[in-house]
Amino acid sequence: MNNIRSWTAEDEAIIATNTDATECKRCAVELGYWKDEYISYFVKHVDRKAPEINRGYYARVKAMEMFIHQFLERCGTQCQIINLGCGYDTLYWRLKDTTQAVSNFIELDFPSVTSKKCHIIKRNKQLLEKICKEDGEVIIRSGDLHSDGYHLLGCDLRCLGEVRRKLQAGGASPDAPALLLAECVLVYLRPDAALALLRHLAATFPRCVLLVYEQCNLGDKFGEIMVRNLSARGCPLAGEAHCREPAAQAERLRALGFEQARSWDMETVWRALPEDDRARVEALEMLDERELLLQLNTHYALTVATRGALFADLDLNS
């Protein structure tokens, strides 16, 4: 298993979910849900998405930002962020535009994804200049990019030996606080591979926060429809059995070595967002399918797992 190099049709379908997610994010940004000056470099024209999709992505992005800021408030910028299955995420550049740029930012994904992301970065000055200091150097080789404080690395997350090597190449340190991001990635790994990865992360970083966003409650009727739809696209959820109620997802992470873990479905997360923000977003588009949005929100969860006293009190309402 440590030598996977030929991609299957299922792998290609998983890789394609990056394009889908990026298109959805760009659509929501164009409609004013949130600001992202960099998303347009990674996907050009997009068709308008349904309002419930736009609102769902807004809740996802804002929930992740909420905990990213809580993490940075506690440890400052002398820390590291490791983005697992990063796709075309633009968080690195958005943080660079604030006072919250971190010491080291590592992104991992399939080599075909990182190669394309490298190519996009290289041909767009607005992206490249953010990762290249005046006296610094950017090295792009075989789909990997290395610079001072940013590393984009092709990696099969199912191969723990490869993950270890890539994290070492990216300068990951067990001594620095680590924020670990996993948005819709663990669910596509075989359970044994996901468990091995999570155990390794918990054992390697004694001061860390893990943010996991993925499906939950897949055992009911709506969940079964979600699973069938993804399977029909050639994208089965290898980790479906672990996508249970949020409390069970938190318990799994505690059993794997994280000291604290909390999990909420996205309907709970949505209601925890500031009332003014929710009112602004609700005014952007008419929403006819309120029941569908509720179903979607109750079938995705945000789970926060931590190690170290510094992060023990992270919570949705902090």
Give the residue ranges of the annotated binding site for S-adenosyl-L-methionine: 60, 85, 156-157, 183
CA atoms within 13 A on the CB side of 57: 22
Element (H, E) at 14: helix 9-30
What are 306's strand-pairing partners? 209, 260
DSSP type of residue 47 = P
- Please return the burial class of 103, using the count of CB atoms within 10 Å of its CB with bins 0-12, 13-18 and 19+: middle
Instruction: Tell me if 90 sits within 8 A of 21, measured CB to CB.
Output: no
Per the annotation, where are the binding residues? 60, 85, 156-157, 183
Structure tokens at 261: 């873990």
Taking the C-alpha atoms of residue 45 and residue 37, their distance in angstroms, rounded to an integer, is: 15
Smallest Cα–Cα separation from 303: which of 266, 277, 255?
266
Instruction: Tell me if 85 sits within 8 A of 182, measured CB to CB.
Output: yes
* Coil/strand/helix, residue 147: strand
